[in-house]
Amino acid sequence: GAGVSQSPSNKVTEKGKDVELRCDPISGHTALYWYRQSLGQGLEFLIYFQGNSAPDKSGLPSDRFSAERTGGSVSTLTIQRTQQEDSAVYLCASSFPGVNSPLHFGNGTRLTVT
Amino acid sequence: GESVGLHLPTLSVQEGDNSIINCAYSNSASDYFIWYKQESGKGPQFIIDIRSNMDKRQGQRVTVLLNKTVKHLSLQIAATQPGDSAVYFCAENGYNQGGKLIFGQGTELSVKP
């Protein structure tokens, strides 16, 4: 596709359940990012993958959050034992390598934990 | 810690007027800045970027100004249109941030017809 694709677009889950969010980056983009956006707030950095380097996990809020990127392309963000405070929009972005490359965002997954 | 923030949380302008959205940053090591536009229900959309070796950059109807002395960034939108209504975020990609973008809280721009 032409842009970053995220699925599902909406996810409602019960407290305590695990969820998986998927991101398909733009072809050729070696950098991939996950951000979280609470209602009316800015974007909170979660994790960053760059090529084959070890990911920067410094933004993950707890050990219930994890992410992987298989084959340098598709990424999955997993939240275990979801809590109500996990409710937010989870945004994925990709870019070419280099600190001066703009990020291209998907439309996000809106997660609601009931 | 270091952060990027915005002076004005909301801005209301008349259609056809020029808009100016401001942003302050605190990381003196930042060397790359980006403005994003986010419409409701969508991800942020790249508008324009600027490197720290520049103080001005122009795009189509938009201009970004960088004042490194006072660590200030602004986005100017000429002849603002209803379609410009959105939340605007500034972001920095600091040299010592390992590649990740740090975003400000956002300014909501409302254009009155």
Question: What per-residue confidence (pLDDT) applies to B96?
Answer: 59
Amino acid type, A71: G
Provide the mean pLDDT of chain A.
92
**A104 forms bridges with which residues in the sheet?**
A94
Are A45 and B93 inside 8 Å of each other by CB?
no
Residue of B12, B10, B101 lying closest to B49 (CA atoms): B101
Q: What φ, ψ does residue B83 adopt, rounded to 5°?
A: -70, -10
Question: Would an 8 Å CB–CB cutoff place A25 in contact with chain B?
Answer: no
Which pLDDT tens digit goes with each residue over B63-82? 999 999 999 999 999 999 99
Choose the mutation target among B101, B102, B105, B108 for the interface with A, i.e. most A CBs under 10 Å.
B101
Question: Would an 8 Å CB–CB cutoff place B1 in contact with chain A?
Answer: no
Question: What per-residue confidence (pLDDT) applies to B3?
Answer: 44
**In whole angstroms, what is the distance from residue B71 CA to residue B78 CA?**
23
Residue B8's pLDDT band (cuts 50, 70, 90) = very low
Give yes or no for residue A47 having a pLDDT over 70.
yes
Question: Would an 8 Å CB–CB cutoff place B99 in contact with chain A?
Answer: yes
Radius of gyration of chain A (CA): 13
Closest-CA distance of chain B to residue A30, Å = 12
Radius of gyration of chain B (CA): 13
Question: What per-residue confidence (pLDDT) applies to B53?
Answer: 93
Question: Would an 8 Å CB–CB cutoff place B24 in contact with chain A?
Answer: no
**In whole angstroms, what is the distance from residue B25 CA to residue B55 CA?**
15
**In whole angstroms, what is the distance from residue B19 CA to residue B13 CA?**
7
Across residues A24-42, what is the average pLDDT?
90
Question: What per-residue confidence (pLDDT) applies to B1?
Answer: 34
Give Cα A1 to chain centroid, integer Å: 18
Exposure string of B78-106, with b = 16+ CB inside 10 Å and e = fewer, is eebeeebbbbbbbbbbbbebebbbbbbbb
Which pLDDT tens digit goes with each residue over B34-67? 999 999 989 999 999 999 999 999 999 999 999 9
From chain A, pick out residues whose CB is under 8 angstroms from the CB of B45: 105
Are B89 and A42 inside 8 Å of each other by CB?
yes
Residue B94's pLDDT band (cuts 50, 70, 90) = low
- Sequential DSSP letters for B23-87: EEE--TTEEEEEEEEE-TTS--EEEEEEETT-SEEE-SSEEEEEETTTTEEEEEESS--GGG-EE
Give yes or no for residue A112 having a pLDDT over 60.
yes
How does strand B30-38 pair with strand B56-58?
Answer: unpaired
**Is the Cβ–Cβ distance between B3 and B64 less than 8 Å?**
no
**In whole angstroms, what is the distance from residue A69 CA to residue A51 CA?**
10
Question: What per-residue confidence (pLDDT) applies to B99?
Answer: 63
Q: Which of A50-54, A56-60, B48-52 has the lowest mean pLDDT?
A: A50-54
